[in-house]
Amino acid sequence: MEESFAAQMIAYHEASKHHYRTYAPGPGYLDWATQPDPFRRYAGAQVIPLARPASDDGLPYEAGFMPGLAPVAPLDAASISQLFFDTLALSAWKVAGDDRWALRVNPSSGNLHPTEGYLICGALTGLSDAPLVAHYAPAEHTLEVRARLTPHIWRALREGVALNRGDGLPEETIFIGLTSILWREAWKYGDRAFRYCQHDVGHALGALGIAAAGLGWQARLLDDLGTDQVATLLGVTDPRGAEPEHPDCLVAVFPQSAHFQHWRLPESILDIFRPLGWQGQPNTLSPNRVEWRWAEAAAEIVRKLAGQGSGDRDQETGVREQGTGDRSRETAASLRRIIHQRRSAREMDGLTAIERDAFYRMLLRTMPRAGAAPFAMLPWPPRVHLALFVHRVTGLAPGLYLLARDPAQTDALRAALKPEFAWETMSGCPPELPFYRLASGDTRGIASRISCGQDIAADGCFSLGMLAEFEGPLNAHGAWIYPRLFWECGMIGQVLYLEAEAAGLRGTGIGCFFDDGMHSLLGLKDRRYQSLYHFTVGGPLEDERLTTLPA
């Protein structure tokens, strides 16, 4: 019998693990001659410049997470510019000698940036008289128009198939699409690159949800859509020569106050989109491409059919209430300043500590809360939990801890992990935080060892592994769940990056870790849970050899 797609994805996952003795298959060196261009361009497409907004307008940091704090922005050229500026724009240039490279609002493994962003919208004041599909070009902060739509098509798209009264997306909706160029990442990371592309999509989704909240808008992942449908709507169905662009997802963004029942794409729309006069020729990113067969196979195996929804959570009701509206958590920071100053720490100082209550506030932010950005965007229940290495948290003994992001999973986690773990609750811990001490002790050595020997995992205040429910969702839903587990991890990472900045610290995503080293530390003997992404937060050391220039 042919192996199921889920089984094939589990095989990919195993094949892309780093082990203490061997790394996942990769090039092992950097072939500078074939390094892909980090910027996709559509030569010949009409360009719409976006005005550059201020990166600090004093909007409070909390507005990026709590519904209703930011005033609802009108949907126009200025707000579209702000949305992209706060999600995918350049945030700085780094200079070392003759080398110069751009950093962005969204982080990316190896700074390779496989994620591309698209906009589908109606006619908008100051932007376009006609509805359009456009590609976002971060280097210039412009839109490249790929296709124009008639008002009739736009309306049919937004309203969707109306089965009940109130179905369809609100009038002031825009769609943001994300795609990944696998080769950008595979050039350096080989077969493990497919995972990193998915982390990056998650970071971009997190950035989008937070940026939308800052405009008084909400974002919803439209996960009923199939892969081919997303490709057709974004105009990325052609194989792009040697550098395919994989369609990942489409997100609806609309005012916070608008009501959203249900939206389903009318099939007839696709017949209109396919033959649209798509404008612009995609640039060639690299003179040559090495085929990383496992990574490319993974991108095919996870293709999703239309209507295959995760469907576990009603779009409208959201997840359990988790302390929404707690104003005591507010900080004095400015949302957009934090978004644009976000950066990865290259080294941690091994000294800085964080207060216990500040640490708990960070963890609370990673919990899904009804209506709160960015996790309210996801139509599925939380499937990712945190196994934490606490190094320097004042008021909390060093050791190994666990945060069950879905409290209903606590028993299942307890059954899967080492039986000798203490599962001790902490006095002073907020009641809405299902946080447990598993074992006390100095975990700096093991944290660094598991993170491919990277000291940043030991020299921060804490580091962590993101434990995703794995085999269960894959077998229940299919291979298409696999990237979504990584998206959730990336979103958690994005929240931690911003939380670290807001607390005067710095974070770093850690994609390089020894998967099974982490699993054996936790006593995981099967694939019920897999650690999919690691992260560290601490006091950074600046690299004096680098100069930073504004974006």
Ligand X SMILES: Cc1cc2nc3c(=O)[nH]c(=O)nc-3n(C[C@H](O)[C@H](O)[C@H](O)COP(=O)(O)O)c2cc1C
Task: Work out whether 512 is an interface residue with ligand X (CB under 6 A).
Answer: yes
Stretch that binds ligand X, among 155-163, 194-202, 287-295, 364-372 (CB under 6 A): 194-202
State the number of CA atoms in the 13 A half-sphere of 305 facing the CB. Answer: 5
Strands (DSSP E) contained in 130-244 are 132-137, 142-148, 174-180, 217-221
The Cα 362–Cα 433 span in angstroms is 11
**Footprint of ligand X on 436-455 (CB under 6 A):** 454
Task: Give the residue, chosen from 141, 184, 192, 199, that forms a contact with ligand X under the rule CB under 6 A.
Answer: 199
For 330, the token pair is 């507010």
Least distance from ligand X to the Cβ atom of residue 365, Å:
18
Pick between residue 199 and residue 477 the one whose CB is nearest to ligand X. 199
Q: Which ranges in 366-455 belong to alpha helices (H)?
A: 410-416, 444-450
- The answer to whether 508 contacts ligand X (rule: CB under 6 A) is yes
Least CB distance to ligand X at residue 479 (A): 20
Cα separation, 471 vs 416, in Å, equals 13
Element holding 534 (H helix, E strand): strand 529-538
How is residue 279 written in tokens? 């404008």
Residue type, 208: L
Choose, by CB under 6 A, the member of 53, 107, 247, 460 that binds ligand X. 107
Span near ligand X by CB under 6 A; candidates 107-115, 163-171, 239-247, 374-382: 107-115
3-state helix, strand, coil in the chain (%, to 5): 30, 25, 45
- Interface region with ligand X, contact rule CB under 6 A, candidates 37-45, 197-205, 270-278, 324-332: 197-205
d(CA 406, CA 80): 34
How many other CB atoms are there within 10 angstroms of residue 515's CB atom? 19
Q: Which of residues 201-260 bind ligand X (CB under 6 A)?
A: 203
* DSSP β-ladder status, 540-541 and 347-348: antiparallel
**Closest CB to ligand X among 245 and 501?**
501
- Give the residue with the Cβ less far from ligand X, 144 or 200: 200
Measure the CA–CA gap between 216 and 209, rounded to whole angstroms: 11
Residue 511 lies near ligand X (rule: CB under 6 A): yes
Of 142-150, 220-228, 296-304, 502-510, the window that binds ligand X (rule: CB under 6 A) is 502-510
Helices 481-502 and 356-365 meet at what angle, rounded to 10?
140
Helix (H) or strand (E) holding 365: helix 356-365
Q: What tokens appear for 491 in the block?
A: 């979103």
Near ligand X by CB under 6 A: residue from 483, 509, 539, 540: 509
Q: Which is nearer to ligand X, 128 or 344 (CB)?
A: 344
Cα angle: 22, vertex 23, 28; to 5 degrees: 115
Residues touching ligand X, count (CB under 6 A): 20
Which residue's CB is nearer to ligand X, number 105 or number 215? 105
Name which of 199, 187, 182 is nearest 246 in CA terms. Answer: 182
Applying CB under 6 A, among 111, 261, 308, 410 the residue interacting with ligand X is 111
Task: Give the bridge partners for 386, in sequence order.
Answer: 403, 466
38 scored as a contact of ligand X (CB under 6 A):
no
Cβ 73 to ligand X, closest distance in Å?
26
Report which residue type is found at 86: D
Q: Using CB under 6 A, which residues numbered 316 to 345 contact ligand X? A: 343-344
Q: Which is nearer to ligand X, 60 or 110 (CB)?
A: 110
Residue 103 interacts with ligand X (CB under 6 A)? yes
- Does 192 engage in binding with ligand X (CB under 6 A)? no
Nearer to ligand X, 69 or 103 (CB): 103
Residue 25 near residue 191, CB atoms below 8 Å: yes
Sort strands 354-355 and 393-394 into parallel, antiparallel or unpaired: parallel
Nearer to ligand X, 168 or 517 (CB): 517
- As measured in angstroms, the least distance from the Cβ of 184 to ligand X is 13
Binder of ligand X out of 84, 118, 189, 196 (CB under 6 A): 196
- For the CB of residue 498, give the shortest distance to ligand X in the complex, in Å: 12
If the CB atoms of residues 110 and 309 are measured against ligand X, the closer one turns out to be: 110
198 contributes a contact to ligand X by CB under 6 A: no
Supply the DSSP symbol for 33: G
DSSP letter at 73?
A: P
Closest-CA residue to 181 (of 91, 134, 246): 246
* Shortest reach from residue 106's CB to ligand X, in Å: 8
Instruction: Specify the residue, 115 or 256, whose C-beta has the smaller distance to ligand X.
Output: 115
Among 510, 518, 532, 551, binds ligand X (CB under 6 A): 510
Which residue ranges make up the site for ligand X (CB under 6 A)? Answer: 103-104, 107-111, 196, 199-200, 203, 343-344, 454, 456, 508-512
